[in-house]
Chains A and B, each alone.
Chain A
Amino acid sequence: MTRPIIEMRNVVKSFGLFKALQGIDLRVKEGEIVVIIGPSGSGKSTLIRCINQLEEHNGGEIIVDGAEVGRGRKSTVLTEVGMVFQSFNLFPHMTVLRNVALGPVRVRGLSWAAAEERAQRLLARVGLEDHVVKYPAQLSGGQQQRVGIARALAMEPKVLLFDEPTSALDPEMVGEVLDVMQQLAKTGVTMVVVTHEMGFARKVADRVVFMDGGRIVEEGPPGEIFNAPRDPRLRSFLQAVLSH
């Protein structure tokens, strides 16, 4: 059995009185593609933001690659976790190439030359080799998000987190980003994806996790989740998102 690269045990997170996560147990194996679905406010984003400690959990344990994270710990293991944001969050004052090369230089200690070579290669992989000297504002949303993916990949992370990567995109650009993600999924990197793209979940996921009200309500292979949902909440959610 492959060991879990992410293990969450009874993780609790509250914002004031609001309980965003109420006891999450989740194990993600190395190389696994886990897609998290669920209605807005169900805690999906909070869950993955807890994995790389953009939010600090209030209870339970999160273990990444064998090391517990958060609760005051300074963990270097989090440099092994990459993240792609809904609103891209590219650095607007740097060229696309710099955006991608910055992490490897500052965190991995690469020279600028080596990092930029790596950046060039990754940008080519996401189809942006012609845009390396541009600034983020000169790119379309879909292109910006592909830079976001290249930036996360440049750190050669063991885990990639995607926080609704296509939700801020115009419909015609969703495809190009999903294509890149689908390519990535084949490379063996572990991915945890929060998304509303049910087609992607069905096609790419090894496992689909359905959340509601800060809890994992149901999980299983996409075939089961989409074709034979058991929980009534999952059924009504799927009906709502798949009916149009």
Chain B
Amino acid sequence: MATNVKALPVMSIFDTFLNWKVFVQTLPLLLSGLTTTLTLGVTAIVLGFIGGLVLALLRLYASSPLRQIAVAYIDVFRSIPILVLLVVIYYALPFVGLRLSSFGAAASALSLVSAAYSAEIFRAGIEAVPRGQFEAARAIGLSPWRRMSDVVLPQALRIVIPPITSNSINVMKDTALASVVAMPDLLKQATQAQALAANPTPLISAAIIYILILMPLVRLVGVFEKRLAVRGR
């Protein structure tokens, strides 16, 4: 009798949150969502990386009007909540004739913001390269562009690997916001599956999938940081 009372709630927790049958049924849906999430995340990370690098160089080396534009961009897009930006892009821009797909809207919002954060990371990385490196590159006669590409950036990129990886993890996590604009990402598919199965197991599964994908990256940041500290400069 006593064992029954104890066993009952345990059973129901498994049935409710970790229901194997529901899990197997909804897994294909979740995996298709995961594919969308990864595609969106990688797109935004790559675009944010390129945009961030360009913005950082403009902020550091461009002449007045261009530099101010870069500074303003970085400040604005670091201040705006991604969710707000996403809603504005998806629901407001159609009024001026710019209608983006849910993927397009989500990719734009994520990369616009990621570029702003990446720009600040790159700037810090470039500024962390010792002054003597710039001077030596100049002293052998390298052009400004060559000084950057051959001497400064290879060293700066090494310095920014940990924070850029960190930023990439944030972008990956923020992809979940895209479910708001009806993009069939991992979270959206999980809520869909939950409704269909009348069981929250897909949500728990989605949470676990997010963790499984991102935790190795989180660990990797730690490894990078340690390696950088050991090697020193």
**Residues in chain A within 8 A of chain B (CB atoms):** 52, 54, 78-79, 81-83, 85, 87, 89-93, 102-103, 106-107, 151-152, 154-155
Contacts and interface: CB of A to CB of B under 8 A. Distances in A.
A92 B155 contact: yes
A152 B142 CA distance: 12
Contacts of A152: 139-140
Contacts of A79: 140-141
Interface string B73-113: 00000000000000000000000000000000000000000
B139 A102 contact: no
Interface string B162-188: 000000000000000000000000000
Interface stretch (B11-19, B51-59, B146-154, B217-225): B146-154
A152 B151 CA distance: 16
Contacts, number: 56
15 contacts: A78-B141, A81-B139, A82-B140, A85-B132, A85-B139, A89-B130, A89-B133, A90-B136, A92-B233, A93-B154, A93-B155, A102-B150, A106-B141, A151-B140, A155-B140
Contacts of A103: 140-142
B226 interface: no
A89 B132 contact: yes
A151 B140 CA distance: 8
Contacts of B154: 93
Q: Main SS of the interface on chain B?
A: helix
A26 to B, nearest CB: 20
Contacts of A54: 135, 138-139
Contacts of A155: 140-141
Contacts of A83: 135-136, 139
A190 to B, nearest CB: 16
Contacts of A107: 140-142
Centre residue among B133, B143, B158 by max chain A CB count within 10 A: B133
A221 B34 CA distance: 79
Contact of B136 (A78, A89, A93, A106): A89
A39 B58 CA distance: 41
Given A103-B142, A155-B141, A91 B233 contact: no
Nearest to B152: A91
A82 B136 CA distance: 10
